[in-house]
Amino acid sequence: MARPAALLFDLDGTLVDSAPDLGGTANDMLVARGREPVPLAALRPHGGSGARGMIGAAFGLAPGDPGYDALRDEFLALYETRLLRHTQLFDEVQALVDGLVRAELPFGIVTNKAVRLATPLATSLGLQPPAAVLIGGDSTPHTKPHPAPLWAACRALGVAAADCVYIGDDPRDMRAARAAGMPGWAAAWGYLGLAEPLHAWVADAVLDSPVDVLKRLGLA
């Protein structure tokens, strides 16, 4: 394909490994209730779903269930206090970012994480800047897989959706990309979730590592 005008990335599970702090928050809540913590390996696949995924894995509750809203609010308040305790960039993400900067290829971040959490996370880990835009889960009236957040990022970057690529580690990311009218590349190094196998995502490409993004673009 021709080199895109810009790249858009998911945050958790694509650029940053936040599962240790997301899972740690869920386990703190369990321990506070006298319950056994859940192994991080069992929580990790749910990292891309944030509070919803962690509450589901740790407490077996989903949105709409009695008690879910209170647990979600507690989770978010606790998570904010340990946002960067163990969270870090995935291996090779810094090399990816450096390569995009050298090539002067603009990129942005589109996440379902609330801006109040996403902005300090991205800033502290050195992602914004250089990321030219960050769209959070509360930046538009809709969250992924709705295309609105991706369209908002395109408007901020001044590029057409068809000239962008969205890269993420969840099937919702690929659905959002298709709905927005842009290619979607699956980040196979990420959390991936448990709901749908990777081959069912209908991704335009499956990349095994962050540096594979640069290779696909002819930048490495």
Q: Is 212 a catalytic residue?
A: no
Beta bridge partners of 89: 16
> Domain spans of the chain?
6-17+87-216, 19-81
Judge if pTM exceeds 0.85: yes
Q: Does pLDDT of 133 surpass 70?
A: yes
CATH of domain 6-17+87-216: 3.40.50.1000
Cis peptide before 130 (omega within 30 of 0): yes
Q: How would residue 199 be classed by pLDDT, with cut points 50, 70 and 90? A: confident
Q: Does pLDDT of 135 surpass 90?
A: yes
Q: Which of 10, 12, 21, 169 does the annotation list as catalytic?
A: 10
Q: Does pLDDT of 8 surpass 80?
A: yes
Q: Does pLDDT of 25 surpass 90?
A: yes
Give the model confidence (pLDDT) of 140-163 as tens digits: 999 999 999 999 999 999 999 999
Q: Taking the chain, what is the end-to-end CA distance rounded to the nearest angstrom?
A: 16
Q: Does pLDDT of 1 surpass 70?
A: no
